[in-house]
Amino acid sequence: KGGKYFYQTFPKPQLGEFKDLQTLRMQPTQESPLTVPQTLGKLLARDTVQVELIPEKKGLFLKHVEYQITSQHFKISVYRRYSDFDVFHELLLQRFAYRMVPALPPKRMDFIEGRRRALGRFINLVARHPFFSEDELVKTFLTFNGSDVQVKMRDACKKMGDEFMTNTMATLAKDYLPADIQAQFSSSRELIRNIHNSFHKLRDRAEKMAERSKENATDLLMFGRELSTLGSDGSPIPSLASSQSTWGILRQSLKGLSVEFALLADKGAQQGRREEDDVVEKLNLFLDLLQSYRDLCERHEKGVLHEHQRALQKYGMMKRQMMSATVQPKEQVSVEQLESRIVQQENAIQTMELRNYFSLFCLHQETQLIFTYLPITSHILGAFVNSQVQGHQEMGAVWNDLQQKLGCLFGVDEMQSPPLTPK
């Protein structure tokens, strides 16, 4: 007022107040229950389960295959048959119908080793899933040592019911879903479908490269054996050629070269196995997960949504029957029964609506898990590059030794002769 300035002074903050402010800033904000706070490292660290094939046991009429299942997390080994996996998979789908449950390999496969690998991928994806890993059903499969594991698993599943009955978020899911959840789901599904197709092609190429490495190893081995056969031929050299020909000396030298070619073949076979174990298997693991996401999306659309629509249609039909009953006088008992059925159907529809929202809630979380797993791409590329570097280094060392050996046996001039055909 009147051109004068007024200054207001504030008390100087005390040190304790600064500490309180810092403490407040350091406290993490509460995350939405919809968020899955996971990293790839955390998921992989949950457990690693080894699946080893046990030699076939002969029964009275049939043979059966057993697998030794060893969980690092539970630090225990148990024995399971394929039928145990089959029941476990069936119960997982009942218990976690709204989650990504990986598919089982078919019982009848051409290669038992291929089935073992597929079962290993299945159980590792299950054991690392944040909503499966500590579940009683999974614990029973990985730790129970009794002979009646299937009965034990069925009992555990019967006591718990499905996830909708035990998850505290089941009736609250609608409140946490974003308004554009359907649009988000559609765009994520399309992106994941494209990723799935690309990884399929990558896996197919990796398989072909691993197969070529093994074929190359076989060819190198056979090449060395043919050289040895050629060098072992003791047929006398004709007198007309013996005066100037060095074939006799050369022939004896060829016998020893099979050692180097056998070593090259061994290195090539190791290269093929590394490509299968470190590259193809990782690609197959992620493909199994992507396929389980596709299956989940189909279960959501064909299962939950379809059942909800059928329930609404049935409810509409009941309401029409009720209106007809009120217009045309009928027995009081039949009207009361119809009213009771309508109430029951209304409750069923309400439950289905809650299940539909919970299904979307779980789908949103499972979509997050797919993107959490995506950095496995760098693991796959690293394994691929490392296997190539190691393979080329090991084989290069043998080729260099072979080159020096040839120089000693035949002389450098013989090895650097001009081309036999004009360019």
**Residue linked to tokens 């013989």:** 414
Query: How are strands ordered across the β-sheet holding 63-71?
Result: 49-58, 63-71, 76-81
H or E element that contains 68: strand 63-71
Q: What SS3 class is residue 257? A: helix
Q: What SS3 class is residue 69? A: strand
pLDDT tens figures, 382-397: 999 999 999 999 999 9
* Stated pTM of the model: 0.80
Residue 7 in this model has a pLDDT that exceeds 60: no
Q: How far is CA 364 from CA 64, 140, 185, 296, 371, in A?
A: 41, 28, 7, 11, 11
**Residue linked to tokens 């299950």:** 126
Crossing angle between the packed helical segments 181-232 and 376-410, to the nearest 10 degrees: 10
Query: Does residue 304 contact residue 352 with C-beta atoms inside 8 Å?
Result: yes
Task: With CA atoms as reference, report the closest residue to 134 among 95, 185, 171.
Answer: 95
pLDDT tens figures, 271-282: 999 999 999 999
Mean pLDDT value of segment 338-363? 77
Task: Write down the pLDDT at residue 5.
Answer: 42
Task: Write down the pLDDT at residue 8.
Answer: 46
Calculate what percentage of the chain has a pLDDT beyond 70. Answer: 75
Task: With CA atoms as reference, report the closest residue to 359 among 169, 90, 156, 187.
Answer: 169
What would the two tokens of residue 281 be? 């298997």
- CB under 8 Å to 117, separation ≥6 — which residues? 281, 284
Q: Which of 109-113, 156-160, 329-333 has the highest mean pLDDT?
A: 156-160
Show the CA angle centred on residue 255, arms to residues 254 and 258, nearest 5°: 95
Mean pLDDT value of segment 159-171? 90
pLDDT band at 331 (very low <50, low <70, confident <90, very high): low
Phi–psi pair at 344, nearest 5 degrees: -60, -40
Task: Write down the pLDDT at residue 313.
Answer: 56
Distance between CA atoms of 267 and 262, rounded to whole angstroms?
9
Residue 15 in this model has a pLDDT that exceeds 60: no
403 φψ region: left (φ > 0), alpha (ψ -120 to 50), beta (else): alpha
Task: With CA atoms as reference, report the closest residue to 269 among 191, 336, 214.
Answer: 214
Task: Write down the pLDDT at residue 237.
Answer: 74
3 φψ region: left (φ > 0), alpha (ψ -120 to 50), beta (else): left
Query: Does residue 274 contact residue 387 with C-beta atoms inside 8 Å?
Result: yes
Distance between CA atoms of 22 and 20, rounded to whole angstroms?
5
Residue 26 in this model has a pLDDT that exceeds 70: no
Higher pLDDT, 106 or 63: 106
